[in-house]
Amino acid sequence: MFFQDVPQGPPDPVYILKNAVDADKSPEKVDLGVGVYRNEKALYNELSAIKEAKKVLTQKELGHDYEVTTGDAQFVKHAAAVLFGKDNKAIQSSRTTSVQAISGTGSIHLAALFLSRCAAFKGKKVYIGAPAWGNYEPLFNLVGLEVVKYKYYDAAAGVVDFKSVLDAVAKAPEGSIFVLQGCCHNPSGADLKADQWRELAKAMKPKKLFPFFDMAYQGLGGSLEDDAYGLRHFEELGFELLACQSFSKNFGLYGERCGVLHVVSESEKVAANVYDQLRCLIRWEFSSSPAYGSRLVNTILESEELTTKWTDELITMRRRLVGLRKALYDELVEKRKTPGNWEAILSSTGLFCFLPLNPQQVSSLATKYHIYMLQSGRINVSGMNQSNIERIASSIDQVVRSSATVSAHL
């Protein structure tokens, strides 16, 4: 009787897709949906650096005690160096506060909760470029922050609609929060170029807009340094900012929920207070973060040999993603002359890109060919491999031509 008035929650496209994929028992099934890097066998890809780190941890026998509320001090220090660079002035001057959180999603929630309690952001809105990761809006709404959406992606051209981004900056009230994906944009894979990051920072600075960086894919689009260019440029210009860092994708630690929240403040004194507030919020909400994932990352980043092995593996992963993009593009454009503009396949970076398919075509791919992707046409590029890419392209070609024929007869 107490819960009779509880309504259903809103549908989650990723959850729905995952259930559909799991229910399909066809040997020809292809999952291009959930954002997990898959290897050539379409399986979870455990990095060899992680395998080595596991052996080291086993020998240390650290047990399973609680971690410190804000996370292992050495781990968050190493994480900050990966994101901002080892010689970063904001770190050296103790203006950067770094605390462990529950991967990228938990970092964003903690960051949003922190901002919602800051007097400076009372009544301020959060600006999010569309299309965007589906969790942003509910995460900010959950803590009482209002979201404003603006156009980020030009679907026809397959690139960032930078004019719309600058227009949103120009119209936003002073002190507004802007969510910025530093690299490998989810869902489009369309990233800002270095000169665009510089122009964006130049436009945001005089309006005192606040950058909220989501860094979930560092190292999968370009080098660790290149993928952090926008964040580092903003910091160098003296912005106070927030950065949410995840180790799910670039270390393959999805289920370990390993992430860090970084806050760059104006002074060491302010940073100390920020740290204490985050300590309280963590304690009140989840007490402490999981230890195993952070210990694995720590083990790797404290070893020059394992760090080199890890960065080499990132290079291999990046090259494979680029190769898969080119292979799909060649199958569709060069080999089959499939109708449509497929340039976004080549211009995007990281795990994701949009295919110019409508929901009906996406549904046909699932029901007729056992090929699954989000209704928006977003695919996880790593779900393709040498054994299925030709069939994927052939199926897409047939669905596109079939729908074009139907349209012609209407």
Domains and CATH numbers, the chain: 13-46+319-400 (3.90.1150.10), 66-302 (3.40.640.10)
How do the pLDDT tens digits run along the chain, 410 residues long? 899 999 999 989 989 999 999 999 999 999 999 889 999 999 999 999 999 999 999 999 999 999 999 999 999 999 999 999 999 999 999 999 999 999 999 999 999 999 999 999 999 999 999 999 999 999 999 999 999 999 999 999 999 999 999 999 999 999 999 999 999 999 999 999 999 999 999 999 999 999 999 999 999 999 999 999 999 999 999 999 999 999 999 999 999 999 999 999 999 999 999 999 999 999 999 999 999 999 999 999 999 999 999 999 999 999 999 999 999 999 999 999 999 999 999 999 999 999 999 999 999 999 999 999 999 999 999 999 999 999 999 999 999 999 865 544 44
Report pLDDT for 198: 98
Report pLDDT for 301: 97
Report pLDDT for 409: 42
What backbone torsions phi and psi does residue 259 show, to the nearest 5 degrees?
-150, 170
pTM of the prediction?
Answer: 0.94
Q: Is 50 helix (H, G, I), strand (E, B) or coil?
A: helix
Distance of alpha carbon 194 from alpha carbon 208, whole angstroms = 21
CA distances from 12 to 49, 67, 258 (A): 34, 32, 23
CA distances from 387 to 28, 29, 368, 392, 394 (A): 10, 12, 19, 10, 13
SS3 sequence of 202-257? HHHCCCCCEEEEEECCCCCCCCHHHHCHHHHHHHHCCCCEEEEEECHHHHCCHHHC
Task: Choose, from 72, 214, 227, 397, the residue flagged as catalytic.
Answer: 214
Sign, CA torsion 234/236/241/243: positive
The pairing of beta strand 352-354 with beta strand 30-31: unpaired
Q: Is 259 helix (H, G, I), strand (E, B) or coil?
A: strand
Distance of alpha carbon 48 from alpha carbon 27, whole angstroms = 28
Q: State how far Cα 156 lies from the chain centre.
A: 23
Task: Choose, from 72, 124, 133, 309, the residue flagged as catalytic.
Answer: 133
The secondary structure element, H or E, covering residue 308 is helix 304-329
CA distances from 163 to 61, 65, 89, 150, 206 (A): 55, 51, 32, 11, 18
Pair 168, 177: CB distance under 8 Å = no
Distance of alpha carbon 398 from alpha carbon 324, whole angstroms = 20
Report pLDDT for 403: 82
Distance of alpha carbon 162 from alpha carbon 159, whole angstroms = 9
Report pLDDT for 410: 43
Is 214 in the active site? yes
Instruction: Count Cβ atoms below 10 Å from residue 276 Cβ, excluding itself.
Output: 12
Task: Choose, from 31, 197, 227, 249, the residue flagged as catalytic.
Answer: 249
Q: Is 181 helix (H, G, I), strand (E, B) or coil?
A: strand
Report pLDDT for 405: 59
